[in-house]
Amino acid sequence: MIFMGTQTIPYNKTEEWGKVFLKVTAAPFPSCIKKWQTFTCHDGEHGLKGYNLIFTEKGVDEAVVEIGKVISPFWEIEGYGWKLEPLLGISDSFKVLEKGR
């Protein structure tokens, strides 16, 4: 399963976010998380936006709990936002479309 986590960070909190990020990524990820890639960009006047592509084993429940544990230290940052969405590949998207017919 692949998840996309979108995070928002106010400009005045980027230094605090960087410290938490280095701490969180220094620890090994749980075994249900196969790969985690983070990308950032400017979000206009609002701050920074981060996109996290998280590749997990097939068991979704455990992965969602573990992702929450990894992200929880960021919740202490005032103005921080997080949204987690499951992604479908093209072949799975077509499977969903076929079910609707």
CATH number, domain at 63?
Answer: 3.30.70.100
Q: Which domain holds residue 37?
A: 2-99
Number of folded domains in the chain?
1
Q: Which letter does DSSP use for residue 40 in this model?
A: E
pLDDT on residue 100: 57
Sign of the dihedral through C-alpha 61, 76, 17, 80: positive
The stretches in the chain having pLDDT less than 70 are 59, 100-101
Tell me the whole-structure pTM to 2 decimals: 0.82
The alpha carbon dihedral of 25, 66, 49, 85 has a sign of positive
